[in-house]
Amino acid sequence: MAEDRSVEDLPPATCWALLAGAEVARLAVVVDSAPEVFPVNHAVLGSRVLIRTAAGTKLFAAVDRDVAVEVDGVAEGRAWSVVAKGTAVEVEDQAGLDAADERLDVWLTSRTQHVLAVDVTSLTGRRFALRPR
Each domain of the chain, given as residue ranges in start order, spans: 7-126
pLDDT tens sequence across 15-54: 999 999 998 999 999 999 999 999 998 999 999 999 988 8
Q: Is the dihedral of CA 85, 41, 98, 91 positive or negative?
A: negative
Closest to 95 (Cα-Cα) out of 106, 85, 103: 103
Summarised one tens digit per residue, pLDDT across range 62-102 is 999 999 999 999 988 899 999 999 999 999 988 888 888 88
Question: What is the CATH code for 7-126?
Answer: 2.30.110.10
pTM value? 0.88
Helices (H), the chain: 12-21, 57-62, 94-103
Who's near 19: CB < 8 A, 6+ residues apart?
25, 44, 49, 69, 71, 82, 84, 123
